[in-house]
């Protein structure tokens, strides 16, 4: 046997972890705060056109709501007989 094999094994040392290197802190540049600029009056619509647009949008809204109500009524009339049949079946 060799001399190194004849010696007793040394006690195992526990390894301590080195602290992680702290990551470099990134600096965030502050956004420039500027006062908002007033929009050009050339791009704005007149009050009468604004009212007309609001009325037109409301008319579209009413049309869509009426279409929704009619669709719901149709769906109810289609489903109602089947629901009644199931209810009668569970009663008996």
Is 89 part of any domain?
yes
pLDDT, tens digit, 9 for 90 and up, residues 31-47: 677 888 887 777 788 99
Is 80 part of any domain?
yes
**Cα(81)–Cα(3) distance, integer angstroms:** 98
Residue 67: which domain range?
Answer: 46-92
pLDDT at residue 68 in the model: 98
Is 68 part of any domain?
yes
As given in the structure block, the two tokens for residue 76 are 């109810």
Structural domain tally of the chain? 1
Higher pLDDT, 13 or 58: 58
Maximal CA-CA distance, the chain: 108
Stated pTM of the model:
0.47
Higher pLDDT, 53 or 3: 53
Buried b (16+ CB within 10 A) or exposed e, 10-47: eeeeeeeeeeeeeeeeeeeeeeeeeeeeeeeeeeeeee
pLDDT at residue 78 in the model: 96
């Amino acid at each position: 046997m060799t001399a190194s094999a004849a010696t007793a094994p040394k006690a195992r040392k526990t390894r301590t972890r080195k602290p992680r290197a702290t990551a470099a802190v990134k600096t965030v540049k502050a956004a420039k705060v500027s006062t908002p600029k007033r929009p050009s009056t050339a791009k704005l619509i007149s009050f009468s056109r604004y009212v007309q647009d609001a009325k037109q949008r409301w008319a579209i809204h009413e049309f869509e709501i009426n279409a929704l109500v009619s669709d719901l009524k149709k769906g109810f009339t289609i489903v109602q007989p089947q629901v009644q049949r199931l209810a009668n079946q569970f009663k008996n």
